[in-house]
A and B are shown apart, each in its own frame.
Chain A
């Protein structure tokens, strides 16, 4: 092992998938580089097991062993990951990840499987204020995934289809579980998949823009979480924000879905150095 390299792993345990990143940090902690990442859907398997496999996956790709990792940090619902060293609250991790991906952002929208969150941050990624969706999964990422499944459309095609829409079907607050039959009804009424998806994207976007307004977001906004990969959603949220005259520009990054894991890995490195320093002082 090279002494001047510091490796940390960040694991973001979501309700639908587990995101793991392996990062390399330079000595003074100012530079962090992502080496490998892994996205594993849980698919009803034991979360702990999936997390372990995901962890092993990134290590084996880097030809590293668990002993080479200075700090394993979790975020999200990481309580069940028993090989972690520390855990970071999800907003803390997401904001740090967002700043890492684009240092200009001052607000973050986290579109996760179950919750939508919006928070304003400063240049050091400190969370200033936040808003969250309530106790209903309508309009969540899981909701969108269910709809795609009911329509028989692979998740990766959803964005492009939604952007083709010419007259979006207006939907508002339908139950994430009952949506299946609602969608069947729309299909049998002859509404195209792209109009259904766009309508759903707009309704989801409206909800999240409402949250953003609640944290007085302005300027650059980073979308994190699974929804960041959905170009149809990104277009819809910009459309809604523009129509409401909000001065925001939405950013995504190909690694947006890993923002939480990246943030956790960076905080892990930070904490590791702090610990190492205090150990030195004690000696």
Chain B
């Protein structure tokens, strides 16, 4: 089928959108990009393609008479099992790289010692993989790096505690740090056929779905065999200059965010985008064309990376920050502007017994306060307002924003889409279609 692709290469994540000729979104993909933009672009696109295949799969099942009744229960299970297959492939790669690295150690004594510890850690990670991808488990990060990092750190601590004399935590984590970068550079998205096959077999063995196995198999086959004919790709985002595209196929993030926000909420007049490493306040006209904007891209304070740094500092995943901040009973005022200094302030406040959630509430308010001053400089908010970017997924941040918007501009419609992180990619896909 014909499709148009928009790619948003951000500083922390890369997003891709597949769109059909009628401007319907077929699928979307997101990956964390840190190293190689060309590769990030490729993997995000493959993810979007897989997501499109899942949409086709779901549609095929729904269109089949009896399938309709099971689609709602089947899809989450199928997705979870698919993610599990992907996760296992990544784990296997992590194991392969760690072992290869240890093989090259010059000191055989140390190598065998660390080999044993890493073996223990990886073994536990492999054992826990199934539990991570139960369909009923709580919200987790989309990224292998986040999940693997927190597991590895936890199990490494255990190992060090058990062998205090021989093992250095620093060195153990070093092994992981070096390996994970390379795991991230391998594209597993291409293995749709293999992974969906695994997921299908898991599902077919479950009593609830076994009676429908033929229908499910047929749908899987359709999704797997569908071909995508990409008519045009447009790239945007921080890394757009690195894309292997023609000049005409590259658009600025400001334009894409404006248009993307207009597509999602046609009455939008002001857009705030808090991305990984820049924050933009954009004013658009009735067609989603940019009229004015203000941007901060020289300092991490007030950008998404601020929260990323905080999460690192608190040993949490970025996705856990918002929920924990929501538990706050008061908002602690954060005095540092600089992100690194705020990190130290966090540690100090924790050590004097302040609660994590109260500190986090303060940090969320701090980032939104920075955004408010940017909004004011771009011309303020007069009509419908849309909040986009990765931070818009964070409930504590959106709550702080709603409060501050009301205090400063009165009752304004605030639009936040659950897919707001894809706004830029969506704008790019629209440019590709036009």
| A residues in contact (CB < 8 Å) with B | 15, 41, 43-44, 46-48, 77, 79-80, 114, 135-137, 140, 142-143, 152, 174-178, 180-181, 184, 188
A137 to B345, CA, bound (A): 13
- A-B complex: 7 closest residue pairs judged by Cβ atoms: A137-B340, A177-B300, A80-B351, A136-B338, A177-B339, A15-B344, A175-B299
Q: Is the CB of A41 within 8 A of B339?
A: no
Contact of B309 among A177, A181, A188 (CB under 8 A): A177
Residue B387 lies at the interface, judged by CB distance under 8 Å to chain A: no
Asked if B313 and A44 make an inter-chain contact with CB atoms under 8 angstroms apart, the answer reads: yes
B277 interfacial by beta-carbon distance below 8 Å: yes
Question: Which among B37, B173, B242, B305 is the interface contact of A178 at CB below 8 angstroms?
Answer: B305
Q: Is B333 an interface residue (CB 8 A)?
A: no
Q: Which residue of A lies closest to B181 (CB)?
A: A152
Hey, what's the 0/1 contact readout for B224-249 against A, CB within 8 Å counting as 1? 00000000000000100010000000
The yes or no answer to B336 lying at the interface (CB within 8 A) is yes
Q: Tell me if B185 counts as interface (CB < 8 A to partner A).
A: no
Give Cα A80–Cα B306 distance, bound, in whole angstroms: 26
Cα A44 to Cα B351 with chains together (Å): 12
Q: Which of B328-371 contact A (CB under 8 A)?
A: 336-341, 344, 347-348, 351
Q: Known A-B contacts: A15-B344, A47-B347, A136-B341. Give 16 more (CB < 8 A).
A: A43-B170, A44-B313, A47-B351, A48-B351, A137-B339, A137-B340, A152-B178, A175-B298, A176-B300, A177-B300, A177-B305, A177-B306, A178-B300, A180-B11, A181-B238, A184-B34
The chain B residues found within 8 Å of chain A, CB to CB, are: 11, 34-35, 37, 169-170, 173, 178, 181, 238, 242, 277, 297-300, 303, 305-306, 309, 312-313, 315, 336-341, 344, 347-348, 351
10 contacts across the A-B interface (CB closer than 8 A): A44-B313, A44-B315, A114-B341, A136-B299, A176-B300, A176-B340, A178-B297, A178-B300, A184-B35, A188-B37
Closest A-chain residue to B177, C-beta based? A149
Q: Which of A41, A135, A184 contacts B338 (CB 8 A)?
A: A135
Q: Write the chain A residue with the least CB distance to B338.
A: A136
- Please state if A188 and B242 are interface contacts (CB–CB under 8 Å): yes
Which residues on the A side are within 8 Å of B34 (C-beta)?
A: 180, 184
Once bound together, how far apart are the Cα atoms of A80 and B170, in whole Å? 23
Interface centre among A79, A114, A177 (most CB of B within 10 A): A177
In whole angstroms, how far apart are the Cα atoms of A140 and B34 in the complex? 23
Chain A residue contacts of B313, Cβ below 8 A? 44
Which residues of B have CB within 8 Å of A152?
178, 181
How many Å lie between the Cα of A79 and that of B353 in the bound state?
13
Known A77-B348, A135-B341; contact A175-B11, beta-carbon cutoff 8 A: no
B27 shortest CB reach to chain A, Å: 27
Contacts of B312 in A (CB 8 A): 44
* CB of B199 to closest CB in A, whole Å: 35
User: Which residues on the A side are within 8 Å of B37 (C-beta)?
Assistant: 188
Closest chain A CB from B170 CB (angstroms):
6
Among B169, B309, B315, B344, max chain A CB count under 10 A is at B344
Is B169 a contact partner of A43 (Cβ separation < 8 A)?
Answer: yes
B337 proximity list for chain A (CB < 8 A):
135-136
Which residues of the other chain, B, contact A178 by a CB distance below 8 angstroms?
11, 277, 297-300, 303, 305
> B244 CB to closest chain A CB, in angstroms?
13
Shortest CB-to-CB span from A77 to chain B, Å, is 7
B337: nearest residue on chain A (CB-CB)? Answer: A135
**Residue of A47, A114, A181, A188 with most chain B CB atoms under a 10 A cut-off:** A181
Give the shortest distance, in Å, between A78 (CB) and chain B (any CB).
11
Q: Which chain B positions have C-beta within 8 A of A46?
A: 351
Residues of A within 8 A of B299 (CB): 136, 175, 178
Give min CB distance, B352 to chain A, whole Å: 8
List residues of chain B with CB within 8 A of the CB of A41: 170
The distance from the CB of B417 to the nearest CB of chain A, in whole angstroms, is 26
A137 to B340, CA, bound (A): 6
Are A140 and B173 neighbours in the complex by a CB distance under 8 Å? no
In the bound complex, what is the Cα–Cα distance between A211 and B197 (angstroms)?
A: 64
Minimum C-beta distance from B215 to chain A (A): 47
Chain A residues with Cβ below 8 Å from B298 are: 174-175, 178
B303 surroundings in chain A (CB, below 8 A): 178
Asked, given contacts A47-B351, A80-B351, A178-B277, whether A137 binds B35 with beta carbons under 8 Å apart, the answer is no
Distance A136 CA – B299 CA, assembled complex (angstroms): 9
Residue from A114, A174, A178 having most chain B Cβ neighbours under 10 A: A178
Contact (Cβ within 8 A) B35 A177: no
In the complex, the answer to whether A137 meets B338 with C-beta atoms within 8 Å is yes
Report the nearest B residue to A150, measured CB to CB: B34
- How far is B170's CA from A47's CA once the two chains are assembled, in angstroms? 15
The answer to whether B336 and A177 touch across the interface, beta carbons within 8 angstroms, is: no
Smallest Cβ-Cβ distance to A44: which chain B residue: B315
